[in-house]
Structure 1
Amino acid sequence: MSTGTLIAVLIGMTVVTYGVRVAPLFLAGRVTIPESVLRWMNYVPPAVLATLVLPSLITPDSHTNALELGLNNPLLLAAVPTVLVAWRTKNMYATVGVGVLAVALLRWFAPFG
């Protein structure tokens, strides 16, 4: 690949990468987002979080990737009080604290392999 081609590819990738991120800023004042779309967008962060967290909860052994939904999965057990605190308090600090405490207590005191 020649130097000119490489530079053109890098410039093209830069334009595409930043264009996608900057375009909404230019359109934000000109386009009115419908209320139904705004309500729908409120569900995006919890859906992304669930997508990132759930695999590690149900397959805690990264070597075998075995599905573990029983009572011998400490991460899944720790998720129960964490989700309850998040649901009831809607407080991020309380949720993180309960989650860390639950995992620590289960790892220290529960008879998991």
Structure 2
Amino acid sequence: MPKQDIELDRWLKGLSQIVGEVLWRDWDPMDVNEDVTHVGIYDEHIPGVLRLLLNDAEPSEVADLLWKIEEEDLQLSISQADTVDAANMLVNEAHIFMIEHPKPSAFGQ
């Protein structure tokens, strides 16, 4: 694997880890994050959130996706304020990550 691809892979894994942590810690619509047997339960939603963040989505767009997941996939009705808070946290954490770890040159290729 070329060095650029390795750098991009590491960068995406780092950002994905941040997204997963925020989903687990701050979003947690199923209220299971105190039970370690459920670690990773939201991982299937990381790619969709990541896609939005990589396209500089606004918190409202991220919140819309989280609401859709809550209602359609998880069949839950969660406080919109909690979802908005989690969306804001995702955008902020992604922004901090991207400042501290600039996108690899291979990203735009």
What TM-score range do you get, normalising by the shorter chain?
Answer: 0.3 to 0.5
Max Rg structure: 1
Flag the structure with more relative contact order, 1 or 2, with Cα contacts below 8 A and sequence separation at least 6: 2
TM-score calculated relative to the size of structure 1: 0.34
